[in-house]
Amino acid sequence: MDFQSRLHFVKLELYREDQKNFVQIIKYLDIEIMKIKIVNLFWFITISFSLFSCKDSKEEPQTLYKLKTVKSILLHYEELDHDSYFYVPYTNTVWDKDFNGKITLKYNEQKQVVSTDYGASVFSIGTNQTYIAFSKTNDDKIQYNGDVINTEYCFPFSSYSDTIKYIIKNGKLIERKVLIGNYNQELDYTYQYENDKIIETMNGLQTSVLYLTNNNISKIEKFQYNNSKEIISKIEFIYSDYDQSINLLKGYYYVHGAFYNAFSTNNYQKRVVNTYSFNNNQYTQLSTSSLSINYNIDTNNIPDLFEYE
Protein backbone atom coordinates (compact mmCIF):
# COMPACT_ATOMS: atom_id res chain seq x y z
CA MET A 1 0.00 0.00 0.00
CA ASP A 2 1.51 3.36 -1.02
CA PHE A 3 1.54 6.55 1.10
CA GLN A 4 -1.61 8.12 -0.39
CA SER A 5 -3.60 4.89 0.02
CA ARG A 6 -2.51 4.55 3.65
CA LEU A 7 -3.45 8.20 4.27
CA HIS A 8 -6.90 7.69 2.81
CA PHE A 9 -7.35 4.61 5.03
CA VAL A 10 -6.35 6.57 8.17
CA LYS A 11 -8.81 9.35 7.36
CA LEU A 12 -11.62 6.82 6.89
CA GLU A 13 -10.89 5.22 10.27
CA LEU A 14 -10.86 8.64 11.95
CA TYR A 15 -14.25 9.44 10.47
CA ARG A 16 -15.72 6.21 11.82
CA GLU A 17 -14.30 6.76 15.30
CA ASP A 18 -15.01 10.49 15.79
CA GLN A 19 -17.38 12.04 13.25
CA LYS A 20 -17.89 15.16 15.35
CA ASN A 21 -14.25 16.26 15.35
CA PHE A 22 -13.38 14.75 11.99
CA VAL A 23 -12.92 18.09 10.13
CA GLN A 24 -10.61 19.56 12.79
CA ILE A 25 -8.53 16.37 12.93
CA ILE A 26 -8.16 16.25 9.13
CA LYS A 27 -7.09 19.92 9.00
CA TYR A 28 -4.46 19.27 11.67
CA LEU A 29 -3.28 16.14 9.86
CA ASP A 30 -2.99 17.98 6.52
CA ILE A 31 -0.98 20.80 8.13
CA GLU A 32 1.48 18.34 9.67
CA ILE A 33 1.87 16.52 6.34
CA MET A 34 2.55 19.84 4.60
CA LYS A 35 5.26 20.62 7.18
CA ILE A 36 6.95 17.28 6.49
CA LYS A 37 6.87 17.91 2.72
CA ILE A 38 8.41 21.38 3.17
CA VAL A 39 11.21 20.00 5.37
CA ASN A 40 11.93 17.20 2.88
CA LEU A 41 11.97 19.68 0.00
CA PHE A 42 14.41 21.91 1.90
CA TRP A 43 16.85 19.04 2.49
CA PHE A 44 16.54 17.88 -1.11
CA ILE A 45 17.42 21.33 -2.41
CA THR A 46 20.30 21.68 0.07
CA ILE A 47 21.84 18.31 -0.79
CA SER A 48 21.38 18.82 -4.54
CA PHE A 49 23.06 22.23 -4.39
CA SER A 50 25.97 20.80 -2.42
CA LEU A 51 26.50 17.99 -4.91
CA PHE A 52 26.29 20.37 -7.85
CA SER A 53 28.76 22.75 -6.25
CA CYS A 54 31.27 19.97 -5.58
CA LYS A 55 31.01 18.70 -9.12
CA ASP A 56 31.66 22.08 -10.71
CA SER A 57 34.28 23.39 -8.27
CA LYS A 58 37.66 24.11 -9.79
CA GLU A 59 40.23 23.01 -7.28
CA GLU A 60 43.25 22.76 -9.57
CA PRO A 61 45.35 25.93 -9.55
CA GLN A 62 46.04 25.75 -13.30
CA THR A 63 42.31 26.31 -13.92
CA LEU A 64 42.34 29.47 -11.79
CA TYR A 65 45.61 31.06 -12.90
CA LYS A 66 47.52 31.16 -16.17
CA LEU A 67 51.13 30.24 -15.39
CA LYS A 68 53.55 32.31 -17.50
CA THR A 69 56.99 31.39 -16.14
CA VAL A 70 58.53 29.10 -13.53
CA LYS A 71 62.02 29.33 -12.04
CA SER A 72 64.15 26.43 -13.25
CA ILE A 73 65.53 25.76 -9.75
CA LEU A 74 62.17 24.17 -8.90
CA LEU A 75 62.23 21.68 -11.78
CA HIS A 76 63.41 18.07 -11.73
CA TYR A 77 64.81 16.68 -14.99
CA GLU A 78 64.76 12.89 -15.02
CA GLU A 79 67.58 12.82 -17.58
CA LEU A 80 69.94 13.70 -14.72
CA ASP A 81 68.76 11.08 -12.22
CA HIS A 82 71.05 8.23 -13.23
CA ASP A 83 74.00 10.14 -14.69
CA SER A 84 72.71 9.81 -18.23
CA TYR A 85 74.09 13.29 -18.90
CA PHE A 86 76.41 15.84 -17.37
CA TYR A 87 74.69 18.96 -16.11
CA VAL A 88 75.89 22.48 -16.80
CA PRO A 89 74.27 24.95 -14.35
CA TYR A 90 73.10 28.10 -16.10
CA THR A 91 75.15 30.21 -13.68
CA ASN A 92 78.39 28.61 -14.89
CA THR A 93 77.84 28.44 -18.63
CA VAL A 94 77.83 30.88 -21.50
CA TRP A 95 75.83 28.48 -23.63
CA ASP A 96 72.93 30.90 -23.58
CA LYS A 97 73.93 34.09 -21.84
CA ASP A 98 70.39 35.49 -22.06
CA PHE A 99 68.88 32.76 -19.88
CA ASN A 100 67.43 34.39 -16.74
CA GLY A 101 66.66 31.24 -14.75
CA LYS A 102 63.02 30.99 -15.86
CA ILE A 103 61.09 28.63 -18.13
CA THR A 104 58.37 30.31 -20.22
CA LEU A 105 55.10 28.57 -21.07
CA LYS A 106 53.17 29.26 -24.28
CA TYR A 107 49.44 28.66 -24.76
CA ASN A 108 46.89 28.08 -27.52
CA GLU A 109 43.46 29.69 -27.80
CA GLN A 110 42.01 27.00 -25.50
CA LYS A 111 44.45 28.11 -22.76
CA GLN A 112 46.42 24.85 -23.03
CA VAL A 113 50.21 24.81 -22.74
CA VAL A 114 51.58 23.94 -26.19
CA SER A 115 55.31 24.70 -25.84
CA THR A 116 58.03 26.04 -23.54
CA ASP A 117 60.94 28.41 -24.03
CA TYR A 118 64.32 28.11 -22.31
CA GLY A 119 63.95 24.41 -21.58
CA ALA A 120 66.66 21.85 -20.89
CA SER A 121 68.69 21.10 -24.03
CA VAL A 122 71.04 18.22 -24.68
CA PHE A 123 74.27 18.82 -26.55
CA SER A 124 77.70 17.23 -26.90
CA ILE A 125 81.16 18.54 -26.15
CA GLY A 126 83.95 16.21 -27.15
CA THR A 127 83.77 12.45 -27.54
CA ASN A 128 81.18 10.57 -25.46
CA GLN A 129 80.42 13.65 -23.39
CA THR A 130 76.77 14.71 -23.40
CA TYR A 131 75.58 17.73 -21.47
CA ILE A 132 72.34 19.37 -20.45
CA ALA A 133 72.03 23.14 -20.31
CA PHE A 134 69.18 25.61 -20.59
CA SER A 135 68.67 27.19 -23.98
CA LYS A 136 66.07 29.34 -25.69
CA THR A 137 66.46 27.21 -28.79
CA ASN A 138 64.75 24.34 -26.98
CA ASP A 139 61.27 23.77 -28.38
CA ASP A 140 59.10 21.20 -26.61
CA LYS A 141 55.81 20.57 -28.41
CA ILE A 142 52.65 19.54 -26.52
CA GLN A 143 49.53 18.17 -28.23
CA TYR A 144 46.14 17.17 -26.80
CA ASN A 145 43.72 14.41 -27.77
CA GLY A 146 41.09 13.73 -25.10
CA ASP A 147 42.71 11.96 -22.13
CA VAL A 148 46.00 11.64 -24.02
CA ILE A 149 48.67 14.36 -24.02
CA ASN A 150 51.81 14.05 -26.15
CA THR A 151 54.99 15.97 -25.34
CA GLU A 152 57.89 15.95 -27.77
CA TYR A 153 61.22 16.94 -26.27
CA CYS A 154 63.10 18.46 -29.18
CA PHE A 155 66.83 18.64 -28.43
CA PRO A 156 68.09 21.33 -30.83
CA PHE A 157 71.67 20.11 -31.16
CA SER A 158 70.81 16.45 -31.71
CA SER A 159 69.32 14.54 -34.63
CA TYR A 160 66.64 12.97 -32.44
CA SER A 161 63.81 13.82 -30.06
CA ASP A 162 62.08 12.03 -27.19
CA THR A 163 58.30 11.72 -27.22
CA ILE A 164 56.23 11.03 -24.10
CA LYS A 165 52.56 10.11 -24.15
CA TYR A 166 50.66 10.87 -20.94
CA ILE A 167 47.27 9.29 -20.25
CA ILE A 168 45.42 11.34 -17.63
CA LYS A 169 41.91 10.55 -16.39
CA ASN A 170 40.00 12.71 -13.91
CA GLY A 171 43.20 14.60 -13.15
CA LYS A 172 45.16 11.41 -12.31
CA LEU A 173 48.11 10.15 -14.30
CA ILE A 174 47.37 6.56 -15.34
CA GLU A 175 50.08 5.75 -17.86
CA ARG A 176 53.22 7.27 -19.37
CA LYS A 177 54.83 5.98 -22.57
CA VAL A 178 58.34 7.20 -23.30
CA LEU A 179 59.86 6.83 -26.77
CA ILE A 180 63.59 7.50 -26.53
CA GLY A 181 64.62 8.68 -29.96
CA ASN A 182 68.37 8.24 -29.47
CA TYR A 183 67.97 4.51 -28.81
CA ASN A 184 64.67 3.88 -30.62
CA GLN A 185 63.37 2.41 -27.37
CA GLU A 186 59.87 2.59 -25.83
CA LEU A 187 59.28 2.50 -22.07
CA ASP A 188 55.73 1.99 -20.83
CA TYR A 189 55.10 3.12 -17.24
CA THR A 190 51.83 2.58 -15.36
CA TYR A 191 50.74 4.14 -12.06
CA GLN A 192 48.85 2.54 -9.19
CA TYR A 193 47.47 4.67 -6.36
CA GLU A 194 47.54 3.09 -2.89
CA ASN A 195 46.54 5.44 -0.05
CA ASP A 196 49.60 7.66 0.42
CA LYS A 197 51.74 5.88 -2.17
CA ILE A 198 51.94 5.91 -5.95
CA ILE A 199 53.68 2.89 -7.45
CA GLU A 200 55.26 3.17 -10.87
CA THR A 201 55.86 -0.07 -12.77
CA MET A 202 57.34 -0.95 -16.15
CA ASN A 203 57.05 -4.42 -17.67
CA GLY A 204 56.24 -5.87 -14.25
CA LEU A 205 59.17 -4.16 -12.50
CA GLN A 206 58.63 -1.61 -9.76
CA THR A 207 60.68 1.31 -11.04
CA SER A 208 59.63 4.04 -8.59
CA VAL A 209 57.61 4.62 -5.45
CA LEU A 210 56.23 8.07 -4.69
CA TYR A 211 55.27 8.76 -1.07
CA LEU A 212 52.75 11.49 -0.24
CA THR A 213 52.14 13.40 2.98
CA ASN A 214 49.26 15.88 3.17
CA ASN A 215 48.83 15.72 -0.63
CA ASN A 216 52.49 16.53 -1.25
CA ILE A 217 55.36 14.38 -2.47
CA SER A 218 57.57 13.70 0.56
CA LYS A 219 59.87 11.05 -0.92
CA ILE A 220 60.65 9.35 -4.24
CA GLU A 221 62.55 6.10 -4.56
CA LYS A 222 63.81 5.21 -8.05
CA PHE A 223 65.33 1.80 -8.73
CA GLN A 224 67.78 0.60 -11.36
CA TYR A 225 67.93 -3.01 -12.58
CA ASN A 226 70.50 -5.08 -14.44
CA ASN A 227 69.73 -7.29 -17.45
CA SER A 228 68.70 -10.05 -15.08
CA LYS A 229 66.02 -7.77 -13.62
CA GLU A 230 67.83 -7.49 -10.30
CA ILE A 231 68.07 -4.20 -8.38
CA ILE A 232 71.59 -2.78 -8.53
CA SER A 233 71.07 0.77 -7.20
CA LYS A 234 68.58 3.28 -5.88
CA ILE A 235 68.29 7.05 -5.91
CA GLU A 236 66.17 8.76 -3.25
CA PHE A 237 64.67 12.24 -3.31
CA ILE A 238 63.37 13.70 -0.06
CA TYR A 239 61.18 16.82 -0.21
CA SER A 240 60.50 18.76 2.97
CA ASP A 241 59.65 22.13 4.52
CA TYR A 242 56.37 22.45 2.64
CA ASP A 243 54.25 25.48 3.36
CA GLN A 244 50.65 26.24 2.40
CA SER A 245 51.47 28.24 -0.73
CA ILE A 246 49.84 27.22 -4.02
CA ASN A 247 51.83 25.07 -6.44
CA LEU A 248 50.94 26.28 -9.94
CA LEU A 249 52.63 23.22 -11.48
CA LYS A 250 50.10 20.81 -9.97
CA GLY A 251 48.68 18.62 -12.73
CA TYR A 252 51.28 19.68 -15.31
CA TYR A 253 52.87 16.21 -15.64
CA TYR A 254 53.55 16.86 -19.32
CA VAL A 255 55.71 19.99 -18.94
CA HIS A 256 59.38 19.00 -19.18
CA GLY A 257 60.94 19.06 -15.71
CA ALA A 258 57.61 19.49 -13.88
CA PHE A 259 56.62 15.82 -13.72
CA TYR A 260 57.21 15.28 -9.98
CA ASN A 261 56.07 18.77 -8.99
CA ALA A 262 52.73 17.98 -10.64
CA PHE A 263 51.78 15.54 -7.86
CA SER A 264 51.98 18.13 -5.05
CA THR A 265 49.46 20.71 -3.88
CA ASN A 266 52.01 22.97 -2.18
CA ASN A 267 55.66 23.96 -2.56
CA TYR A 268 58.71 22.49 -0.88
CA GLN A 269 61.71 24.50 0.33
CA LYS A 270 64.26 21.72 0.71
CA ARG A 271 65.27 18.77 -1.47
CA VAL A 272 67.78 16.07 -0.46
CA VAL A 273 69.16 13.53 -2.94
CA ASN A 274 70.70 10.26 -1.72
CA THR A 275 72.23 7.55 -3.91
CA TYR A 276 72.72 3.91 -2.93
CA SER A 277 74.25 0.76 -4.32
CA PHE A 278 72.58 -2.59 -3.65
CA ASN A 279 74.54 -5.76 -2.91
CA ASN A 280 73.77 -8.85 -0.84
CA ASN A 281 70.25 -7.58 -0.15
CA GLN A 282 71.60 -4.43 1.46
CA TYR A 283 71.73 -0.78 0.41
CA THR A 284 74.95 1.17 0.87
CA GLN A 285 74.78 4.94 0.67
CA LEU A 286 77.16 6.42 -1.89
CA SER A 287 76.40 10.14 -1.83
CA THR A 288 74.09 12.83 -0.52
CA SER A 289 73.37 16.40 -1.58
CA SER A 290 70.80 19.02 -0.71
CA LEU A 291 69.16 22.09 -2.17
CA SER A 292 67.28 24.87 -0.39
CA ILE A 293 64.79 27.08 -2.18
CA ASN A 294 63.89 30.50 -0.82
CA TYR A 295 60.94 32.51 -2.04
CA ASN A 296 58.39 35.14 -1.08
CA ILE A 297 54.62 34.67 -1.17
CA ASP A 298 52.16 37.20 -2.60
CA THR A 299 48.64 38.11 -1.46
CA ASN A 300 47.17 35.25 -3.55
CA ASN A 301 49.28 32.76 -1.56
CA ILE A 302 51.49 32.10 -4.61
CA PRO A 303 55.31 32.14 -4.35
CA ASP A 304 57.49 34.28 -6.59
CA LEU A 305 58.80 31.07 -8.13
CA PHE A 306 55.96 31.65 -10.60
CA GLU A 307 54.80 34.48 -12.81
CA TYR A 308 51.11 34.24 -13.64
CA GLU A 309 48.00 36.14 -14.57
pLDDT in tens, 223-244: 999 999 999 999 999 999 999 9
263 vs 75, residue with greater confidence: 263
Same domain, 22 and 86: no
Measured CA distances, 106 to 131, 256, 270 (Å): 25, 13, 28
Q: What local confidence, expressed as pLDDT, does residue 209 receive? A: 98
Same domain, 74 and 207: yes
Number of H helices and E strands in the chain, helices first, is 3, 18
Same domain, 74 and 33: no
Task: State the chain's mean pLDDT as an integer.
Answer: 78
Same domain, 22 and 105: no
- Range 143-164 average pLDDT: 77
d(CA 237, CA 235): 7
pLDDT in tens, 4-22: 555 454 444 544 555 555 4
pTM (two decimals):
0.74
Number of folded domains that form the chain: 2
Same domain, 27 and 84: no
Tell me the one-letter amino acid at 299: T
Same domain, 247 and 304: yes
Q: What local confidence, expressed as pLDDT, does residue 224 receive? A: 93
Q: What local confidence, expressed as pLDDT, does residue 119 receive? A: 74
Residues above pLDDT 70, as percent of the chain: 65
State the burial class of residue 103 (Cβ atoms within 10 Å of its Cβ: 0-12, 13-18, 19+). buried
- Nearest CA among 181, 80, 81 for reference residue 133: 80
Q: Is the pLDDT of residue 57 over 60?
A: no
Same domain, 28 and 94: no
Q: What local confidence, expressed as pLDDT, does residue 252 receive? A: 94
Q: What local confidence, expressed as pLDDT, does residue 229 receive? A: 93
For residue 133, give its domain range: 61-308
Same domain, 41 and 184: no
Task: Count Cα atoms within 13 angstroms, Cβ side, for 197.
Answer: 8
Domain boundary among 14, 37, 56: 56
Same domain, 20 and 67: no
- Strand 86-87 with 270-279, pairing: unpaired
Same domain, 14 and 65: no
Domain boundary among 56, 80, 96: 56
pLDDT in tens, 65-124: 999 999 988 988 887 775 544 444 444 444 567 778 889 999 999 999 998 887 776 666
State the burial class of residue 300 (Cβ atoms within 10 Å of its Cβ: 0-12, 13-18, 19+). exposed
Same domain, 221 and 91: yes
Q: What local confidence, expressed as pLDDT, does residue 14 receive? A: 47
Confidence of residue 253 (pLDDT cuts 50, 70, 90): very high
Same domain, 105 and 246: yes
Q: CB-based contacts of 145: which residues, under 8 Å, 6+ apart?
A: none
